[in-house]
Amino acid sequence: MNNEKKYQILTFNDSQCICDVCGKSELKGTYVIENLENGEIFRAGSTCGVKLMKTTSKEFKSEFKAVISENTAKAREEWRNSAESIAYNNALTFMNNTPGFESPMVRLPYIKPFSTALEAKREQIGAKYNVKYIY
C-alpha cells in the first residue's frame, strides 16, 4: 500500500465559496488544495477535502492548523527581518537614546512614517501567506 500524500492543504480563504469538487455553494469559504502529482490547485469544502485526502475530519483540521502555524511562522520571520521592521526598530532606539524625545508629542510625528511603512509591510506579508496575525 502506498502511503504517500496525494494532496496538500495550502490555505483556507473566503474568496471562493463554491466547492470545485462537488459544486456545493454558499460555503463559508474553501480550502485551497494542491494535487501533488500534477500540481493542480483547486478549492474544496471540508467534506470533499476530507474525502480527497482519505482522512478523518479531525486529522484534516489538524493538518490545516499545522499549515496555518507554519505560514504564520514564515510570515512573522519575514516581517521581523524586513527593511521596514529594521528601520522602525532603529528609529525607536534612536528616540530612546536621544535627548528631546521624551514627550509623546515629539515622538509620535517622528515614528509615524516608520510605523505606517511597517504596518503596510505586515499587510503585504499577511496577504502573501494568507495569515491575519503575524505579530
The full set of domain ranges for the chain reads: 1-55, 71-135
- How far apart are the C-alpha atoms of 106 and 32, rounded to whole Å? 47
| pLDDT score of 3 | 54
The chain-wide mean pLDDT, for the chain, equals 92
- How far apart are the C-alpha atoms of 75 and 127, rounded to whole Å? 9
Where does the chain show beta strands of DSSP type E? 7-13, 30-35, 41-44
| pLDDT score of 50 | 95
Model confidence pLDDT, tens digit, residues 59-116? 999 999 999 999 999 999 999 999 999 999 999 999 999 999 999 999 999 999 999 9
What is the residue whose three cell numbers read 524625545?
Answer: 101
Nearest Cα residue to 44 out of 6, 68, 11 = 11
Predicted TM-score (pTM) of the model is 0.74
Q: What values do phi and psi take at 106, rounded to 5?
A: -90, -40
Angle between helices 104-129 and 57-80 (to 10 degrees): 140
